[in-house]
Amino acid sequence: MVGVGAVVLSAALAALAAWPVYENGRVALVMGVGVLLGAGSVLLGWFLRLRWGWTAGIAALGYLLAVVPVAIPSALGDTGRIVRGVIDGVLGIAIGWKQLLTVDLPASDYQAVFVPLLVVIGGGTLAATALIVHGGRWAPLAVVPLLAMPLFGAAFGSRETGADVVLGPVRIPAPLHVLLGVAALAVCVVWLVGRARITRIRALRAVRDQAATVRQGGESLAGCCGARCSPRVS
């Protein structure tokens, strides 16, 4: 499915944009688990034909099970620490952003600083995949979460974005963020164009099938009428 590929690529771009915030290899793990929690829950619900409440429940349960080992590894240990870690993971959905803004960068895996990234990728891939799979004519709105995920790194990253890049008369500030933004936009454009072409092909195929059915029906009716109207030879 082209749309799912766009979701995964956008999540990967979000992880690349967030790398300067953490500079920790766990970013890749958070990205992968976030995609499984978000896109995976929607696809599982679609495959099993579950209602939205069950799909949301699967995503929420997956988050509670994954948040400590993936986003708060310092809470691993005895049962009490894990429980406190789960609570921090739930509270971090609302207040983890403040902690990320106040900590010195790179944040690495300090306390629960990975929770916001897990929420962004998990929530973004869930929303985008839901729109792609179930959105119908609203499916193009999936570009909103697809573009929003890579913005996380720019919003919470360091103000030092590296030296400007000069291409002739053009000066490009924050080249890494610009490059990732262009890549995210390209992913969305390719997906929209591909989706439009696939929709057009399906529509043309449906028209051809309908025309073939009508033609076959007309030929059958004509043959039936000819058989009835032909004179009998005695």
DSSP letters for the chain: -HHHHHHHHHHHHHHHHHHHHH-STHHHHHHHHHHIIIIIHHHHHHHHT--HHHHHHHHHHHHHHHIIIII-GGG-SSHHHHHHHHHHHHHHHHHHHHHHHHSPSS-TT-TTTTHHHHHHHHHHHHHHHHHHHH-GGGGGGGHHHHHHTTHHHHHHS-S-----EEETTEEESSHHHHHHHHHHHHHHHHHHHHHHHHHHHHHHHHHHHHHHHHHHHHHHHHHHHHHHHSPPP-
Question: What is residue 214's predicted lDDT score, i.e. its pLDDT?
Answer: 61
Report pLDDT digits (tens) over 87-129: 999 998 988 888 888 888 888 888 889 999 999 999 999 999 9
Please tell me the least confidently modeled range out of 24-33, 52-61, 153-162: 153-162
State pTM to two decimals: 0.83
Report pLDDT digits (tens) over 179-212: 888 999 999 999 999 888 877 787 777 677 676 6
Question: What is residue 172's predicted lDDT score, i.e. its pLDDT?
Answer: 65
**Interval 209-224 mean pLDDT:** 60
